[in-house]
Structure 1
Amino acid sequence: MSRHFQYDALVIGSGAAGLTLALNLPAALRIAVLSKGDLANGSTYWAQGGVAAVLDNSDTVESHVADTLDAGGGLCNEEAVRFTVEHSREAIHWLIEQGVPFTRDEADREAGSFEYHLTREGGHSHRRIIHAADATGAAIFNTLLSHAHDRSNIDLLQQRVAVDLITERKLGLPGGRCVGAYVLDRTTGEVDTFQAKFVILATGGAAKVYLYTSNPDGACGDGIAMAWRAGCRVGNLEFNQFHPTCLYHPKAKSFLITEALRGEGAVLKLPNGERFMPRFDSRAELAPRDIVARAIDHEMKRLGIDCVFLDISQKPTAFIKHHFPTVYERCLEFGIDITKEAIPVVPAAHYTCGGVLVDQAGRTDIPGLYAIGETSFTGLHGANRMASNSLLECFVYARAAAQDILAELPSVGSPPLLPTWDASQVTDSDEDVIIAHNWDELRRFMWDYVGIVRTTKRLVRAQHRVRLLLAEIDEFYSNYKVSRDLIELRNLAMVADLMIRSAMSRKESRGLHFTLDFPEQRPDPIDTILVPPTYGD
């Protein structure tokens, strides 16, 4: 039997952005935080590098802004960049107040002070990455989750998969607000109704659309797809960041080798030991991720090799084990001792730079609906996200959205009573092989045709295939009971279509979008904004 829940705020997603927003709302509000698997299944937990922020006296807001604008390929919204960077210090101080165990600087500790260790990553001109060894995401997530558990007004609900948003427009009511969501409870198989004054999408990105990705299984673009179906615009979805260095091993599923290794002196080599990055960029291994990923892709295709190698073995063993314990232990599980030998690596889909259009408070086109974190398109990243700016964006915009919700709360009345999910016309499926086949086909042609290097011909082929898949999925969705696999496939195919449409409309190469048919960069940088058929209804 499906159930009906009522909350002040419904947060869909339990990562850094979702938990930060929930913890920045007052204890008087009833808040639900949904996770479609276990709470730690999101990308936050696995983030290794850290959070970029202006913390050192030798660093400046202007320098961080300039670095971000440079990495963004001329497409960053400078107002959004400045807003994010100017609020970076207070966001980090909030995390420290929560008790996040960031790594201290040993030299300063010996001198009697307690400053934090800052590292440097690609695209940054200063050391400004605060971190907790090489497991920053886990340290942040565990700290925030502990606080959320301690708050009696926050319900942390696992195994809940959001199916679709509920808006007043869909109900045929005036006003146009988002008033809740239909949510599959995987433990019962029923779709429950969640009613809320405010709905926040914090569902992460869509890197799972690619065959090879550093992301966990849940990164299926759910929030982007739901917002699009509800009538929200999306932007810059052609810019999909490929992390240059993921561990290449048949048993190492989605293990990322943090960029901080290159920040501390690791170099990329070919199988013969030759270093190649200086041939592609004067910044060598510290060039922005798009340049490094394309260079690796170029060398792999030129030589017909399966991977390249990342070598930090020239550093002292104690240094490596202290700064990169997670990478050291994980590689050792696969017989790779990074203190003595190079790590086999390949690029993999990592971050979705585009998403749902929002303002500086995280507000979407629909009143009452917010999008934060990787789900959103704030304008911060432009055509290429600079390392460690993403977690910063989560904290800054989550806190801004919480403040906006608090300000809006007095003017928002109780939502209308929502209808329950209608499953009377569907049956149990005995054809789940279709879902599995379509899932594999989608991710493979996205990797082959809409990957690191693109052509118009490849994009046209991808668009033809995705349109056929969308029709098949829609027919399946209309006739059978929903499951997590079906919901994710439906969302992933929709976001893939939006990515392809965005890529086809950009007749240039810029940042993460590189096409052989238009290799030059146009002088007039413009965002790619897609408008849904229901926008403004």
Structure 2
Amino acid sequence: MNVVVVGSGIAGATAALHAHEAGHDVTVVTKGALGDGSTGFAQGGVAGVYGPGDSAARHAADTLDAGAGLSDPAAVDVLVAEGSARIAELIARGVAFDRSPDGDLLLGREAAHSHARIVHAGGDATGAAISRALSARVRESGITIIEGGFLSDLSVRDGAVRGIRLLLDGAPVQLDADAVILATGGAGHLYAHTTNPAGTTGDGIAAAIRAGVEVADLEFVQFHPTILATGPAFLVSEAVRGEGAALIDDEGRRFVFDSHPDGELAPRDVVSRAIARQAAAQGSPVRLDATALGAERLAARFPTIDRVTRERGFDWSREPIPVTPAAHYLMGGVVTDLDGRASLPGLFAVGETARTGVHGANRLASNSLLEGAVFGARAAAALGAGERPLSERSETNRLDPRPLSERPDPRSLSERSETKGARAALQQLMWHEVGLIRTAAGLEHALATLRAWRAAAAPPVTVADHEDANLLLLAEATASAALGRTVSVGAHYIEAPELERV
């Protein structure tokens, strides 16, 4: 089969490698350079290695608890049953997870996990290690790679996805395929504050919506509790709290225990809301106190965080650092079955682009990289089951053999000057009305505003235009989904006394 994988993070790279190894003709299309995206920024690690007293069943139970009753148990069972094999595969592909002097994998613990079961690499640089290793394996494999290719739309013919349409160096390109696997990540740039890299604008999910593909759970947006509150967004891993760091108010009190008996290790949505409320009450950021861990341990376990905090003027081994929540992960997306199949024949979705049912209303920490690896492999294994081969090849396919560094940046081609301002307005609206704490009135205001903006929007021309159009489409869909769910659950929290809470 001729397979196009859009995206090159852990989910896309895993799917591409498995499909290639199964004998399919694979092309990877990536918006930036190979390996760009959210995977490389992941700090915490990959859940799924079980020590004494732990098990896949306990991991499943923790995942279901974090999902606030809305996770699909069958999807969770797949995740934990196949997780160890995928972690072993990552090791075989060259990911050097951290080990003890006797060679055992070091296991960390994060919020809402009942046991230490998370493997990590480079202390707090797990995603970067995975991205480097998988990108190297993709390049070595002979898989066709198109860097700098922006997905503008899915190509649908005869009731099935038959390829994709791209912008490549500002020009439209049709790329036909027997099957398309979307692995374009989430949509963190819906919000004014996010941990996501710049290109995370929901392109795959938006293209799926335009093609009539079923999506769900877009209202469930996870906000990471602890982003350094000075300078550009920088995530301070939940693993820091797992090692014993505490969240304190301006009087030094551990305030999160007011909201949950697990305090700093409560589910992320609980911790994020507690931080937001405390910061608003005291008029300043809360602080993360890791001083009890000591300079040597912090530098060894969290070298990236240690370096960045010091670059920004903090010695976190001696003083608490200011932190704030930021949009981090989208639990919803393209609805798939347990093999990554979407509602439209020929289309698969994996990773953050997909709504597999694993995460429910709130993702358990360090399940995202695991989900990408597990379901990326499953999607590749399902290729050919029901897909129809192409009857003919398109003559419009045009691939540029030059590396990305030698090609013009498509963002510079006729980019409209109002893009930055329009996007910022959307992000502020979403942050205030469709963010951590929502109200029915705020959601109604946001939805009406977004619909008016979409009605007045000009047709997209440049890559930046298309990104803005995707964000606007997804913002409207997210606000609509949030307004439609009148019950507070997980990451979706409606602050309105007249509405029921669960």
TM-score, L = length of structure 2: 0.93
Q: 1:522: Cα distance to partner?
A: 5.8
Contact kept in structure 1, 2:415 and 2:464, CA below 8 Å: no
Contact kept in structure 1, 2:188 and 2:328, CA below 8 Å: yes
- Separation of aligned partners in 1, 2:395 and 2:345: 17
Q: 1:518: Cα distance to partner?
A: 5.4
2:177 counterpart letter in structure 1: A
Aligned to 2:377: 399
Aligned to 1:155: 144
SS of structure 1 residue aligned to 2:80: helix
Aligned to 1:99: 94
Aligned to 2:134: 144
Matched, 1:197 2:174: no
Contact kept in structure 2, 1:54 and 1:85, CA below 8 Å: no
Aligned to 2:219: 238
Q: 1:521: Cα distance to partner?
A: 5.3
1:376 counterpart letter in structure 2: A
Aligned to 2:6: 12
SS of structure 1 residue aligned to 2:442: helix
- Separation of aligned partners in 2, 1:408 and 1:393: 24
The 1:414–1:52 alpha-carbon spacing in structure 2 relative to 1, beyond 3 Å, is farther
Contact kept in structure 2, 1:241 and 1:353, CA below 8 Å: yes
Aligned to 1:255: 234
2:492 counterpart letter in structure 1: H
The 1:95–1:420 alpha-carbon spacing in structure 2 relative to 1, beyond 3 Å, is closer
1:450 counterpart letter in structure 2: V
Aligned to 1:117: 106
Q: 1:406: Cα distance to partner?
A: 4.9
Aligned to 1:375: 353
- Separation of aligned partners in 2, 1:520 and 1:457: 12
- Separation of aligned partners in 2, 1:191 and 1:356: 25
Contact kept in structure 2, 1:54 and 1:64, CA below 8 Å: no
Contact kept in structure 1, 2:170 and 2:413, CA below 8 Å: no
SS of structure 2 residue aligned to 1:45: helix
Q: Deviations over 1:268-322 (max 9, x none)?
A: 01123222112221101100100000000110111222x1111111113221111
Q: Deviations over 1:238-262 (max 9, x none)?
A: 110000000111x3x2210000000
Aligned to 2:481: 502
Aligned to 1:281: 260
Q: 1:56: Cα distance to partner?
A: 2.1
- Separation of aligned partners in 2, 1:97 and 1:407: 28
Aligned to 1:527: none
Structure 2 unmatched ranges of 5 or more: 399-411
- Separation of aligned partners in 1, 2:415 and 2:56: 55
Structure 1 unmatched ranges of 5 or more: 1-6, 169-173, 422-427, 524-537
1:297 counterpart letter in structure 2: A
The 1:431–1:89 alpha-carbon spacing in structure 2 relative to 1, beyond 3 Å, is closer
Contact kept in structure 2, 1:510 and 1:521, CA below 8 Å: no
- Separation of aligned partners in 2, 1:88 and 1:431: 43
Q: Deviations over 1:324-358 (max 9, x none)?
A: 00100111111111211112110000000100100
SS of structure 2 residue aligned to 1:515: coil
SS of structure 1 residue aligned to 2:486: coil
Q: 1:363: Cα distance to partner?
A: 0.4
SS of structure 1 residue aligned to 2:178: strand
Aligned to 1:129: 118
SS of structure 2 residue aligned to 1:432: coil
The 1:418–1:500 alpha-carbon spacing in structure 2 relative to 1, beyond 3 Å, is farther
Q: Of residues 153, 158, 180 in structure 2, which corresponds to 1:164?
A: 153
Aligned to 1:323: 301
The 1:463–1:319 alpha-carbon spacing in structure 2 relative to 1, beyond 3 Å, is same
- Separation of aligned partners in 2, 1:229 and 1:439: 20
**Aligned length in residues:** 487
CA-atom RMSD, angstroms? 1.9
Contact kept in structure 1, 2:11 and 2:183, CA below 8 Å: yes
1:184 counterpart letter in structure 2: L
The 1:518–1:83 alpha-carbon spacing in structure 2 relative to 1, beyond 3 Å, is farther
Q: Deviations over 1:104-153 (max 9, x none)?
A: 024xx1xxxx210000000100111111110000000100111111111x
Matches within 5 A, 1:289-438: 289-305=268-284, 307-407=285-385, 412-414=389-391, 417=394, 432-438=416-422
Calculate percent identity across the aligned residue pairs. 41
Aligned to 1:534: none
Q: 1:181: Cα distance to partner?
A: 0.9
- Separation of aligned partners in 2, 1:254 and 1:105: 32
1:120 counterpart letter in structure 2: R
Q: Deviations over 1:31-50 (max 9, x none)?
A: 22122122343000000000
The 1:518–1:166 alpha-carbon spacing in structure 2 relative to 1, beyond 3 Å, is farther
Aligned to 2:408: none
Contact kept in structure 1, 2:214 and 2:334, CA below 8 Å: yes
Contact kept in structure 2, 1:508 and 1:518, CA below 8 Å: no
Aligned to 1:266: 245
Aligned to 1:425: none
Contact kept in structure 2, 1:34 and 1:157, CA below 8 Å: yes
- Separation of aligned partners in 1, 2:291 and 2:56: 34
Aligned to 2:163: 180
Aligned to 1:488: 467
Matched, 1:21 2:2: no
- Separation of aligned partners in 1, 2:203 and 2:273: 28
1:328 counterpart letter in structure 2: D
1:49 counterpart letter in structure 2: G
TM-score, L = length of structure 1: 0.87
Contact kept in structure 2, 1:507 and 1:518, CA below 8 Å: no
Q: 1:68: Cα distance to partner?
A: 0.8
Q: 1:436: Cα distance to partner?
A: 2.4
1:491 counterpart letter in structure 2: N
Contact kept in structure 2, 1:56 and 1:128, CA below 8 Å: yes
1:310 counterpart letter in structure 2: L
Matched, 1:444 2:428: yes
Aligned to 1:73: 68
